[in-house]
Amino acid sequence: MSRDRVLRDRPTVRVLLFDPDGRILLMRGRLPSRPDGPGYWFAVGGGLEPGETLEQAAVRELVEETGFMDVTLGPVVWEREGPLKLADGETVMFRERYLIGRCAGGEPCRDGWDEQERALMDDLCWWTADALAACGETIFPRELPALLPDLLAGRYPAEPMRLTWS
């Protein structure tokens, strides 16, 4: 008789970071469990460290992954969760929360990337809504291009919207 295995939670923050021109900053990288696999675009962020709030983790991740220190954080607009295999082979339940962030823009800095990020991350790029909608590459969450115009217009959901895990 098999028992359902309970996965360890991995609370994760993602920042939908916008510059004054309405562009969003996304990273392109590969899964730790598939370092030779295909890349995809996703929002800056990562796992919360013990005792960190969502906002503290967002600020830390932004500094580490982009070098941007002067960021204004907004509300949590989306939630997404699902299982994902880590580099060590453990499958965890990612529980992502997506915050709005705004900064002055400019060239992101990769000096804060750790060894794993340097190995798995291929690019950081500012995207316009039109370019993102037309890019044809894999983007997570998949709903991002369709939902971006509302975010750019400042139309945020009253409660965080639950997005699909795929």
CATH number of 8-151: 3.90.79.10
Q: What is the pLDDT of residue 38?
A: 83
Predicted structure pTM score:
0.92
Q: What is the pLDDT of residue 37?
A: 80
Give the position of tokens 């460290």: 49
Number of neighbours of residue 88 by Cβ within 10 angstroms? 7
Q: What is the pLDDT of residue 115?
A: 85
Tokens representing residue 101 in the block: 């962030």
The answer to whether 78 and 141 have CB atoms below 8 angstroms apart is yes
The answer to whether 100 and 16 have CB atoms below 8 angstroms apart is yes
Q: What is the pLDDT of residue 2?
A: 44
> What is the DSSP secondary structure assignment for residue 139, as one 8-state letter?
B
Q: What is the pLDDT along the chain (166 residues), one digit of tens a residue?
A: 445 678 999 999 999 999 999 999 999 998 777 778 888 999 999 999 999 999 999 999 999 999 999 999 999 999 999 998 887 888 999 999 999 999 999 999 988 888 888 888 889 999 999 999 999 999 999 999 999 999 999 999 999 999 999 7
